[in-house]
A and B are shown apart, each in its own frame.
Chain A
Amino acid sequence: MPVNEGFVPKIQVFEPHRASLPPLIPYLREFWTRRAFASELARFGDKAEYLDSRLGKVWLVLNPLLLGMVYYLVVTIIRPGGSVSGMTRLDHLLIGLFTFYFAQNCVTAGALSITSGGRLILNQAFPRALLPFSSAIQSFQQFLPTIPVYIFVLVAGKWAYPTTIVPGWTWNFLWIPFILICTGLTGFGLALVFATLNVYFRDTTKLLTYITRIWMYLSPVLWLPSSLRGNMKILLWINPLGPVLNATSRVWVSGESLTQPIILGCILWAVASIVIGGYFFISRERDFAIRL
């Protein structure tokens, strides 16, 4: 074979597979092989985003913290008192908001990832799902600094108000990685749906602004899961983030373990989002280069 030394023959065959999935095993293998591309893209995306900002990455912490304060004021003015103490409400609101924003950022940044990566898509062949995946990684990296902020608020709250209930060390905290994985997978799966829609309808991201706002009001962030009565409890299950935010509140704020229905809810929404989003995205991704 008249090819250069060290060349390993690699036959690639490109055939029509319109409106159906490409062979999944090679696709997933290539996705996995190029995972470093997604993580570096996330790292550089983060770097580029905060390059011109004087406060830089401090905004990653300040932004959700300030939002938490704003929502706390809104919630305490609208519905002062209640069955739980103010600090416990603040703790629930903060960790709920941070987790919700992690998922929301996965979706909103992921929705833009294909249209904003147009030139890369027109020049290189790679599994396109790497772009929303990179957005999910970036969202996770932006979520991480909020954890010490939450812990700081928790400790400061206990110091200022000794009656505040703070969970001591418990093995139930081991559920946190599970919650974060489920949140990330659900966010990534939904990002795949909205990234595809945004290629076909360029106003999807505008609509997403309203969807995410309504989504937050319907999620146990500004209200406690235990405050729902009767049929309203269904909100915790029909909302893709309902189970993970319920789990977040239980573990982070109360130090409680997860119940079987909550665990199942988290897993089902994560799997459903990935399967539905993945099918929707991958079956259409060869069309992206034409649409961009």
Chain B
Amino acid sequence: MRSASKSPIVMPDDLAIRIENLSITYKVSLEAKRTMKNALMRASLNQKERTRIIEAVKGLTLDVPHGSVLGIVGSNGAGKSTLMRCIAGILSPTEGRVIVNGKISTLLALGVGFNPALSGRDNIILGGLASGLNMDEIAEKTDEIAEFAALPDGFIDLPVRTYSSGMYGRLSFAVAVSMTPDILLLDEALSAGDAAFKEKSFERMRQLCAEARTILIVSHALATVTDLCDTAIWMHKGAMVAKGKPEEIVDGYLKFLNVGSLPSNYEDM
């Protein structure tokens, strides 16, 4: 989903993502239900729809080099997920632009796009095709995905609705990382599975980084950010408050939250 750029594209070779003065604003309806019936009622009474403008991202400028792991922290409503969706090309910028150099794979919410009535194998095919792979590439990767997801014997051919939440999350993660992306976008995707699977996920991401692939991680688990990322940004109310080393960013964020730096705070903030 490329756009025809009006201004010249300046993209140094070492950059995976360039974000220029990005703002994302959208209007949300405050009506309980958006229906044609309500719209006609309002029109007949000469009333306007009650709406609110949300400034999800405000004037953000950022360069992300190839092979880096960028962590994004911030409270709920900070604009982290909106930013990720814009980088993935899912949401449109209101101002500014995003330049992406490479194939993107996303895992922006656990299990997205999975049809619970279909088997894990069928969902792998659909997930792969939605990511832009062809049938041959998917066929090559199916067993590898099933193995990585560590599904119990035979579960790959059972409907996904029979999976536990851990199995569901592991399969989603396995599909996303197996697409050999140049840029991997993960939004709260590392909470799937037990400690062993988490370690396996971390290992896989380190391997992706070693191959000069770029990873962006949104996580409230601050330990994940400090363990995996080489850079982090802190977002608050749509703006980037700080950028720097993950430990410094996490410390600053914890001080801002006024919760101290107890180990438990690194679990889920």
CA distance A4 to B93 in the complex (A): 29
Contact for B212 among A2, A36, A125, CB less than 8 A = A2
* B-binding segment of A41-49, A102-110, A151-159: A41-49
Q: Which residues of B contact A30 (CB under 8 A)?
A: 1
User: Do B2 and A44 touch across chains, with their CB atoms under 8 A apart?
Assistant: no
- The B-contacting residues of A in range 1-38, CB under 8 angstroms, are 1-4, 7, 9-18, 22-23, 26-27, 30, 33-34, 36-37
Does A51 touch B at the CB level, under 8 Å? Answer: yes
- Interchain CB contact under 8 A, B85 and A12: no
Q: Is A213 an interface residue (CB 8 A)?
A: no
List the A side residues contacting B217 at CB < 8 Å.
none
Given the known inter-chain contacts A4-B212, A37-B129, A290-B26, please indicate yes or no for A125 contacting B89, CB distance below 8 A: yes
A48 touches B115 (CB 8 A): yes
**Contact (Cβ within 8 A) A15 B1:** no
A204 interface residue, CB < 8 Å from B? yes
Inter-chain contact B3/A44, CB cutoff 8 Å: no
- Over the window 88-106 of chain B, the binary record of Cβ atoms lying under 8 Å from chain A Cβ atoms (1 yes, 0 no) is 1111111101111111101
* Nearest Cβ on chain A to B108's Cβ, whole angstroms: 5
Instruction: Please name the residue on chain A nearest to B185 by beta carbon.
Output: A123
Cβ of B112 within 8 Å of any chain A Cβ, yes or no, is: yes
User: In the assembled complex, which residues on chain A have CB atoms less than 8 Å from the CB atom of B100?
Assistant: 11-14
B211, CB-defined interface residue at 8 Å: yes
Q: In the bound complex, what is the Cα–Cα distance between A13 and B15 (angstroms)?
A: 13
Whether A9 lies near B106 (C-beta < 8 A) is no
Q: Is the CB of B36 within 8 A of A204?
A: yes
Closest CB of chain B to A222's CB: distance in Å?
Answer: 28
Bound CA span A17–B89, Å: 12
B125 at the interface (CB under 8 A from A): yes
Report whether B182 and A289 are in contact in the complex, using a CB–CB cutoff of 8 Å: no
The answer on a CB contact under 8 Å between A37 and B102 is no
Contact of B93 with A16 in the complex, beta carbons under 8 Å: yes
Check B212–A44 contact: CB distance below 8 A: no
- Min CB distance B64 to A, Å, is 13
Does A207 make an interface contact (CB < 8 A)? yes
Partner of A40, one of B5, B28, B90, B126: B126
Question: From B176, which residue of chain A is reached at the shortest CB distance?
Answer: A123
CA distance A201 to B132 in the complex (A): 31
Beyond A12-B1, A26-B2, whether A36 also contacts B134 by CB under 8 A is yes
List residues of chain A with CB within 8 A of the CB of B33.
202
A2 contacts B92, C-beta separation under 8 Å: no
Cβ A2 vs Cβ B11 within 8 A:
no
A121 on interface, CB distance cutoff 8 Å: yes
In the complex, the 3 A-B pairs of residues with the closest C-beta atoms, listed nearest first:
A123-B112, A125-B89, A120-B113
With beta carbons under 8 angstroms apart, the residue of A3, A14, A124, A207 that contacts B182 is A3
Q: Is the CB of B118 within 8 A of A18?
A: no
In chain A, what residue has the closest Cβ to B105? Answer: A124
- When the two chains form their complex, are residues B1 and A44 in contact, meaning their CB atoms are under 8 A apart? no
Which of A9, A14, A47 has most B Cβ within 10 Å? A14
Q: Does A122 contact B (CB under 8 A)?
A: yes
| Contact (Cβ within 8 A) B211 A41 | no
- Assess whether B3 is in contact with A36, with CB atoms less than 8 Å apart: no
Q: Which residues of chain B in 188-218 are interfacial with respect to chain A, using CB atoms and an 8 Å cutoff? A: 211-213
Instruction: Report the bound CA distance from A33 to B134 in whole Å.
Output: 9
Q: List 18 A-B contacts (CB under 8 A).
A: A13-B2, A14-B89, A14-B100, A15-B5, A15-B93, A16-B97, A18-B94, A22-B3, A40-B125, A45-B115, A51-B117, A121-B90, A123-B107, A126-B1, A201-B35, A203-B36, A203-B37, A204-B36
A121 to chain B, nearest CB (A): 7
0/1 per residue, B55-68, Cβ < 8 Å to A? 00000000000110
A92 close to B (CB within 8 Å): no
A119 within 8 A of B: yes
Q: Which of A2, A48, A117, A289 contacts B90 (CB under 8 A)?
A: A289
Q: How far is the CB of B5 from chain A (nearest CB, A)?
A: 5
Determine if B262 is an interface residue (Cβ-Cβ < 8 Å): no
> Would A4 and B109 count as touching, CB distance under 8 A?
no
Bound together, the chains give a CA A45 to CA B213 distance in angstroms of 34
- Known A-B contacts A10-B101, A13-B3, A47-B122; the reply to A122 vs B90 at CB < 8 A is yes
B3:A14 contact, CB within 8 angstroms: yes
Q: Is the CB of A4 within 8 A of B101?
A: no
Given contacts A36-B135, A48-B117, A125-B88, contact A120 B66 (CB under 8 A): no
